Amino acid sequence: MRAVVLRSKVPSEPEVAEVPDPEPGPDELLVKVAASSVNGIDLKVADGAFGDRGAYPLVLGKDFAGTVQAIGARVTGYGVGEAVFGVTVRPPVGEGGLAEYVTVPEAFGVARIPAGVSLADAGALGLAGTTALACVDAVDPRPGEPVLVAGATGGVGAIAAQYIAARGARLIATARPGVQSGFLADLLGPRVHVVDHTHDLTGQVRALAPRGLAAAIHLAGDADALAPLLADGGRLATVLHWAPHDGVGDRLTVTGVMADPDTATLDRLAADVAADRLTVPITATYALGEAPAALAAFRQSSLGKLSVSVD
């Protein structure tokens, strides 16, 4: 099969190559992938953030959507021909979804694609969507509360912003003027207040939330600059391994967040897309053979989600 791989010890450049087809284990599904997407973890793997994994070539990609091609002997919940999507969960990398086929365990990281959800949307939803939901659930935004999303123009941020707005909170989102702010305006309309994180962020946020933010989601930028903007008792969710210091933890609730792509969470995301409560923010689509270019574009700070079509 064709796949996006790292051929040698990291750091190295991703390329498209032929590798052996995977075989499902007794508790696994073999999925013929139709769509995937690019995530930050793909660049981290290529850059060596997880060290030398030992077995090459490594197949990149966390997201997948496609059709069950075969099932292991102990699989009972899925059948051949069903449309599924999810997140590859083998620790931590190496048998990913940027490929023509992927094997995934039946018990975790996979769910059915409901009617009304395209394969492209499903293929860009899993990792960003489950991370976004984990962030939103951690800060628990309430109607009328001012809530900031730092990094709202990325895939995780754009999904998290939609859920915050849907809960009735006063959504404040960081973006550069121009293309980035226009992207958020098109996605969220009047439900978002955009602030320019490159120019007097503190003053802009204080003008919108003079008593301080109730909550913030930290997906980009410096959390040390965000923490003072929260009122006492505020909630901060971070995906960037930031730890409170200098007494910040005494006045704020800080939660470190990781994606948890269990089937129930994937089902929740897909149901929201099917019901038009959630838009998967795909801004560009690449063929599998163009996936290295998609990764390069992602590295240059692209908007929303970059989809990869495998068919």
The pLDDT tens digits of the residues spanning 27-50 come to 999 999 999 999 999 999 888 877
Q: Which of 87, 85, 80 is nearest to 119 (CA)?
A: 85
Q: Which residues pair with 18 in a beta bridge?
A: 2
What's the rounded Cα separation, in Å, for the pair 68 and 207? 52
For 219-250, how does the pLDDT look when each residue is reduced to its tens digit (9 = 90+)?
A: 999 999 999 999 999 999 999 988 888 778 78
Please give the pLDDT value at position 92.
Answer: 52
Burial of 126 (0-12, 13-18, 19+ CB in 10 A): buried
Cβ count near 242 (within 10 Å): 17
Give percent of the chain with pLDDT exceeding 90.
86
Q: Which of 37, 36, 45 is nearest to 14 (CA)?
A: 45
Per-residue pLDDT, averaged over 129-153, amounts to 98
Please give the pLDDT value at position 108.
Answer: 94
Please give the pLDDT value at position 8.
Answer: 81
More confident residue, 133 or 92: 133
Please give the pLDDT value at position 262.
Answer: 96
Please give the pLDDT value at position 107.
Answer: 95
Q: Which of 84, 87, 107, 109 is nearest to 97 (CA)?
A: 87
Beta strands 213-218 and 146-150 are parallel
Backbone angles phi, psi at 31, to 5 degrees: -110, 130
For 267-304, how does the pLDDT look when each residue is reduced to its tens digit (9 = 90+)?
A: 999 999 999 999 999 999 999 999 999 999 999 988 99
Judge whether 194 and 186 are in contact, CB under 8 Å. Answer: no
CB within 8 Å of 35: residues ≥ 6 apart? 64, 65, 66, 119, 120, 122, 123, 124, 307, 308, 309, 310, 311
Residue 206 has pLDDT above 60, yes or no: yes
Cis peptide before 244 (omega within 30 of 0): no
Give percent of the chain with pLDDT exceeding 70.
97
More confident residue, 172 or 7: 172
| DSSP string across 240-283 | S-----TTHHHHSEEEE------HHHHHHHHHHHHTTS----EE
Residue 9 has pLDDT above 90, yes or no: no
For 46-73, how does the pLDDT look when each residue is reduced to its tens digit (9 = 90+)?
A: 888 776 666 788 899 999 999 999 999 9
Judge whether 36 and 1 are in contact, CB under 8 Å. Answer: no
Cβ count near 224 (within 10 Å): 12
Please give the pLDDT value at position 54.
Answer: 60
Q: Is 307 helix (H, G, I), strand (E, B) or coil?
A: strand
Residue 148 has pLDDT above 70, yes or no: yes
Please give the pLDDT value at position 51.
Answer: 66
Judge whether 298 and 38 are in contact, CB under 8 Å. Answer: yes
The whole-chain average pLDDT of the chain stands at: 94
What's the rounded Cα separation, in Å, for the pair 147 and 229? 10
pTM of the model: 0.95
Judge whether 74 and 54 are in contact, CB under 8 Å. Answer: no
Sheet strands side by side (includes 213-218) = 192-195, 170-174, 146-150, 213-218, 230-238, 253-256
Judge whether 127 and 62 are in contact, CB under 8 Å. Answer: yes
Judge whether 238 and 225 are in contact, CB under 8 Å. Answer: no
Per-residue pLDDT, averaged over 2-7, amounts to 94
What's the rounded Cα separation, in Å, for the pair 253 and 155? 25
